[in-house]
A and B are shown apart, each in its own frame.
Chain A
Amino acid sequence: MISLNDLRISYRIGSWVIPAVDGVTLTIPDGCIVGIAGESGCGKSTLMKAIYGDIRSPMYLAGGSIDYGLKSSDGRPVTTDTIRREWFKSISYIPQSSMNSLNPVKRISTQFTDFPGTDSNKKRVLEKARGYIGKLGLPPEALDSYPHQLSGGMRQRIMIALATFFQPELIIADEPTTALDVVVQKEILMLLMEVQEMMGNTILVVSHDMGVHYQVTHKMLIMYAGRVVEYGDTESVFADPQHAYTKMLIDSLPAIGDDSMRGVLASMAGAGGDRAYRVEPDLIEVKPGHFVARPSLSEGVAV
């Protein structure tokens, strides 16, 4: 279980401070896939980096804390300062442009054995890796190839294999399928779901695509301007969205076969320059496990 307590992450540029995550309090239970949605600039990537413990200047922890519910090898609880030591072991990251994250001049096998904290016997690691990528639907020869010899979908499978090889408790996937086309995207998402069911770990998936969230996630987190707008079970969020912004995100999907939608979809108002909503930091539980931001009285936004 991961608890975020009033987490605040900001960027400092000169004397200018930009709050990117502005007071996020929530609990992520073990063993589920949590989807994070919101448009560019809403703070979702910053939040993921903070959970991963990759807090580097100009980004800094402005307040609050993260409780990972993990103990390090010396028995002390893991914090944002010590999470780095758990990288690859209990927490792993599938980055946004993950297809380009493989080292182009090294064979895939080298990249498997290069991971820190692994078995010192490389042969044994390779043997295991060969068996593991077979389970993920990759040919064993893929281990002996260079990244450029593999297709985008295969490279993405390799990234998932690398991220899940040590069975981490937490996997963070930042837009895992954005550069892929729909057919490959479906395969990768199905793979991610299978891996999660096999290992029972927690996966945080960032995506723009509400369809991806509906297909993959157990729980949904909607962010807007650095704050949580809505958080709850995916079924409940899609069936009965509470906040106007969530409703708009769900309705912004053009649907095939729905003729009433043809040509009448509204363009969305953005979070970037023109703030259409004001989101308060505290959440109200409307149903068991379904939270929504308190309506802002000053703006009178309908919730």
Chain B
Amino acid sequence: MTVILRTEGLNKVYRQGGFVRSRQVKALNDVNISVESDRPVVIAVVGESGSGKTTLAKTLLRLETPTSGQAIVYDTVVTGKGSTLSRHDFLGLVQPIFQNPFEAFSRYRPVDAYLHETARRVAGMDEAQAEVAVAEALRNVGLDHAEVRGKYTNQFSGGELQRISVARALIPQPKLIVADEPVSMIDASRRMVIINLFKRLRDEAGRSFLYITHDLATAYYISDFVAVMNKGVVVEFGPARQVMGDPQHAYTKLLLSSIPTTKARWRPRKAAA
């Protein structure tokens, strides 16, 4: 069995305020999660705003240094104590997808330049290989290289740009893709395109995902494991079906009961006058 993701005593403390009156905020408070599997998985991290789920993503992406503890991705220590992985090797193992695709790409550069750059710098390909890899990655997300070439962000919809972000992340053939709220900026009716793409990439291309979201319904739909976070603490962790079908922690129950469903009403509606 491969350790797909394991965090050991991961802590991140932010300091707020000046020298004299500073306050400590524990964005990650002793986070211990462990996922071992033989096949690629989707791990969802759910919670409200301010629960620390984005800090967890940033720590796993090495954008933040943990205050203590370590994280292991595919049997390799990627950050924290005992991490010897080079930046180059790290980017070949873990790749990010960010929330807002319009901010992830510069407005003043054609988006395919990012794909070529990733292919040449991170994956170490030459021009001809990069061309093939970019076309292949775009085909994987249902786009045609000829249609993307030389275009700028304003020529795409949010959903298309997010698919290009996924294509870029695929080029170095990473084992784990960390997606921080990948669908929250996308039109509700187009979200399932991205979600179904993750599912297909897990099943066909063998990529694992860390899917960070506040949308429990899509988390249930796609994920194999779920971690529920509240105030920097993982309050519940386990197989998705178990956590969401039979929640144990009060906070998980609160989250689940707050989802507007079309089955049962929160309160009876009085008839309109």
Contacts and interface: CB of A to CB of B under 8 A. Distances in A.
Interface string B169-212: 00000000000000000011110110010010000000000000
Interface of A: 29-33, 39-40, 152, 181-186, 189-190, 193, 197, 200, 208-212, 214-215, 218-219, 234, 238, 249-250, 252-257, 259, 261-263, 265-268, 270, 272
Contacts of B220: 254, 256-257, 262
Interface of B: 48-49, 157, 187-190, 192-193, 196, 199, 214, 216-218, 220-222, 241, 244-245, 254-256, 258-263, 265-267, 269-273
B42 to A, nearest CB: 10
A265 B217 contact: no
Contacts of A215: 260-261, 265-266
Contact of A257 (B48, B192, B199, B244): B244
10 contacts: A182-B258, A185-B258, A208-B187, A214-B260, A250-B262, A253-B262, A256-B217, A261-B221, A263-B221, A268-B193
A257 B244 CA distance: 7
B263 A40 contact: no
Contacts of B196: 265, 267
B12 to A, nearest CB: 21
A200 B270 CA distance: 11
A30 B190 contact: no
B188 A218 contact: no
A186 B258 contact: yes
Contact of B256 (A30, A234, A256, A261): A256
Given A32-B273, A33-B272, A181-B49, 5 more contacts: A211-B260, A219-B272, A249-B189, A256-B220, A257-B245
A183 B48 contact: yes
Contacts, number: 116
Contacts of A272: 157
B229 to A, nearest CB: 12
Given A32-B272, A197-B270, A256-B244, A268 B262 contact: no
Contacts of B263: 255
A152 B188 contact: no
B218 A211 contact: no
A211 B262 contact: yes
Nearest to B196: A267
Contact of B48 (A181, A189, A249): A181
Contacts of B272: 29, 31-33, 218-219
B238 to A, nearest CB: 15
Nearest to A256: B220
Nearest to A211: B260
Contacts of B267: 190, 193
Given A31-B273, A208-B187, A262-B221, A252 B260 contact: no
Contacts of A211: 259-262
Nearest to B245: A257
A31 B270 CA distance: 11
A250 B189 CA distance: 11
A197 B189 CA distance: 31
B197 to A, nearest CB: 9
A205 B196 CA distance: 29
Contacts of B271: 218
A183 B255 CA distance: 6
What 10 A-B pairs are tightest by C-beta distance, nearest first? A211-B260, A32-B272, A31-B273, A208-B188, A254-B221, A39-B189, A182-B258, A186-B258, A218-B272, A214-B262
A214 B261 contact: yes
A15 B245 CA distance: 56
